[in-house]
Amino acid sequence: MQVLVPVRNRLGATCFAELDDPAEQEIFLDARTDFSPKQFFLPHAEKMFRFGKSNFSCKISQLSEKKPTVIFGIRPCDTHALQALDELFIGSLGPDQYYSERRKNALLIALQCAKECDTGFCTSMGTSQATGHDLLFIERGSDFFVTAASDRGKSLLDSKFFKQTKDAAPSPRIECKKELLTQNLEENLLQNFEHGIWKQEAEKCLSCANCTQSCPTCYCHYKDDEFELDSMDSTRYRMQDSCQLLRFSQVAGGMIFRKSRAGRLRQFVLHKLCYYKKRFGTHLCVGCGRCIAACPAKIDLTEIANAIQKEAGVQK
């Protein structure tokens, strides 16, 4: 099986990578990573299928992956992020064969956070406890207390890898310093669609798309065909995209209907905190705080939302 673990890469960023040589890799278990394991379910550039002319017809060859994978060290916020993506790519919009195959073949071993992240606000979003995992590791002194949350997890607990105990499971609780006021959040944000804070914060925005690239729930993409001039074959790719790029909202005829940075910033925040919940019942934001940490202009969606909330009379 392919085993993915949190590591610090050669550029200093923390992300998930295939476990190759533990002696050479810097395993990172201190906190949530800079990048989530989303890339293994929705790659930045994914080959979907090859197609080509065959006599008088078109021949299509599927390129799906079915490699069994273990993801160790996934944090609770990222388990909630995968649940949100499951709703889209397996439930409402799916099943998407590429995403659903990877999810079906993935064993999730979650690691409970022992402390809050600097920019995280998962306690406000109700995502500080893992969900949808197979095993949960909880730090306990020099060892881990492990619980199972699925049949696959239970079968592993019965194996030789673990020592059975009658001790009660630890229940660590964290309280994030950063907070998002969620009372009447959707209604208040939508009623302030033209609030001045959108333009004020957007004046700092670089449209670099760091926020969407680091977000564990951003799923926007486009498809592109790569033609091979020296053959009759071609490949279709699914490429990750970002609502923060000017060309993202370009439609037929060349019109771009979300030209302003204020409009694009507002779209990002409202999609995470309003639009998705209106349709699916939960926020698309899981409170990991990666978009805040990754933003070179220090734009903070909690500060934007809280400013509007406080004007509407919402208190802590």
How sure is the predictor about 274, in pLDDT bands with cuts at 50, 70 and 90?
very high
Average pLDDT over residues 18-27: 89
Tens digit of each residue's pLDDT (9 = 90 or more) over 57-74: 777 877 777 789 999 999
Mean pLDDT over the full length of the chain:
92
How far is it, in rounded angstroms, from Cα 35 to Cα 78?
Answer: 10
How far is it, in rounded angstroms, from Cα 253 to Cα 230?
Answer: 32
How far is it, in rounded angstroms, from Cα 312 to Cα 222?
Answer: 38
Q: Which two tokens stand for residue 276?
A: 């998705």
Tens digit of each residue's pLDDT (9 = 90 or more) over 136-190: 999 988 899 999 999 999 999 988 889 999 998 888 888 999 999 999 999 999 9
pLDDT of residue 230: 67
CA angle 47, 49, 50 (to 5 degrees): 110
Tens digit of each residue's pLDDT (9 = 90 or more) over 198-256: 999 999 999 999 999 999 999 999 999 888 776 678 889 999 999 999 999 999 899 99
Task: State the DSSP code for 169.
Answer: P
- What is the end-to-end Cα distance of the chain in Å, rounded? 47
